[in-house]
Amino acid sequence: MSNKTNPGNFFEDFRLGQELVHATPRTVTAGDVALYTALYGGRFALASSDVFAAELGLERAPVDSMLAFHIVFGKTVADISLNAIANLGYAGGRFGAPVYPGDTLSTTSTVTGLKQNKDGKTGVVYVHSTGVNQHGAVVIDYSRWVMVRKRNLDAPAPETHVPELPEAVQPADLTVPFAVQPGRYNTAQAGSPHLWDDYAPGERIDHVDGITIEEADHMLAARLYQNTARVHFNQHVEKEGRFGRRIVYGGHIISLARSLSFNGLANGLSIAAINGGRHTNPAFAGDTIYAWSEILERQELPGRVDVGALRVRTVATKDRPCHDFPYQDGEGRYDPAVVLDFDYTLLMPRRAG
């Protein structure tokens, strides 16, 4: 039998410091933007209007931050998480150069940590991935860790190495690709009168609306990002798995929550950083996703008075509205309805001084 096919990497195939060059470079098109809008219904003005973006000094509307993330992330799946049980978390993500239709994105990763689990059947792989455009400019770099199956249960465990990961990206390390001219920011077109100055640490916002996941939606999304993880695609296999059905790609939940957050955070024009994140429970087709957000910090940016940063925690739930802000109990256990705990930094215009 031919051995030309690639079964993907199992836990014992990874090595600390290993460099992975991921296939395939992907040119972003206007069609990607239209499909992303159709999937999530995002209304953030910066990614929706060339005219609005030009008022902020950009050449045209960039793609939504999370669309850029998904394309960069999707490249890594075949090499890192094809045989994964779960994507466990993110840290230290920084968005760089804006991505426009016509840009070509490619991704490389470095293995930064390994830890075999006690059951001897799986292990956790830590990687740092970097996405660049056709000019070599970084569009996003981030760390994530994923639980991967072992192929050979007798393979010796590697020496455990868990990398130190930052709690949050600092304001001085954020890239701010746009500028707000005094008196030129149109809050009516953006969809909300509330700017950076109007939010307070500890404030909680129920985003009110809900979106039901359709089977066709999450399958289309995974294909759009060239995410090949079997747990999202192969019902023939997954019907015999833990859940008996395909799991929705976690990034799909992030984008649904980002879209829902427009109602309350409409002037959060772009995501500048992913400080941390966990997919706490699986989601499936038929689940209805709700979301709420907490303002963790209001941060001034060095040398900038036109734009500030909000560090935000957005929590997404399935089949449970968020008017009572479901999260964790006193012992730190997540409410069973919580599917996402996402800590990120938004860029938002400030009021003119």
State residue 334's pLDDT score. 97
Residue 156 placed within a domain: yes
Q: What is the CATH number of the domain that holds 144?
A: 3.10.129.10
The answer to whether 80 and 109 are in contact (CB under 8 A) is yes
Write down the pLDDT at residue 237. 83
Query: Read out DSSP for 210-272?
Result: -EEPPHHHHHHHHHHTT---HHHH-HHHHTTSSSSSPPPPHHHHHHHHHHHTHHHHTT--EEE
- Greater pLDDT, 203 or 244: 203
Q: Is the residue at 240 inside a domain?
A: yes
Per-residue model confidence as pLDDT tens digits over 188-199: 999 999 999 999
- What is the pLDDT at residue 266? 98
> Is residue 95 domain-resident?
yes
Asked if 162 and 116 count as a contact pair (C-beta separation under 8 A), the reply is no
The arithmetic mean of pLDDT across residues 100-121, rounded, is 97
* Neighbouring C-beta atoms of residue 146, cutoff 10 Å: 22
Total tally of structural domains belonging to the chain: 1
> What percent of the chain lies above the pLDDT cut of 90?
89
For the chain, what is the mean pLDDT?
95
**For 165-173, what is the mean pLDDT?**
97
pLDDT of residue 1: 62
pLDDT value at position 353? 59
Which structural domain, as residue segments, surrounds residue 52?
11-349
Radius of gyration of the chain measured on its C-alpha atoms: 20
Give the pLDDT confidence score for residue 228 in this predicted structure. 86
Residue labelled with tokens 């192969």 = 234
Q: What is the mean pLDDT of residues 318-344?
A: 97
Mean pLDDT of 302-323: 97
> What residues contact 253, with CB distance under 8 A and at least 6 apart?
279, 283, 289, 316, 339, 340
pLDDT tens for residues 30-87? 999 999 999 999 999 999 999 999 999 999 999 999 999 999 999 999 999 988 888 8
Which pLDDT value is given to residue 157?
Answer: 92
Instruction: Confirm whether 77 is domain-assigned.
Output: yes
pLDDT tier, 24 (very low <50, low <70, confident <90, very high otherwise): very high
Q: Kindly indicate the confidence band of residue 286, based on its pLDDT and cuts at 50, 70 and 90.
A: very high
Q: Is residue 4, in this structure, part of any structural domain at all?
A: no
6: in domain: no
- 344 within a domain of the structure (yes/no): yes
What distance in Å separates the CA atoms of residue 60 and residue 47, rounded to the nearest whole number? 9
Is residue 2 scored above 70 in pLDDT?
A: no
- Whether 49 maps to a domain, the answer reads yes
What angle is formed at CA 41 by the lines to CA 342 and CA 88, rounded to 5 degrees? 25
Q: What is the predicted pLDDT for the residue at 7? A: 87
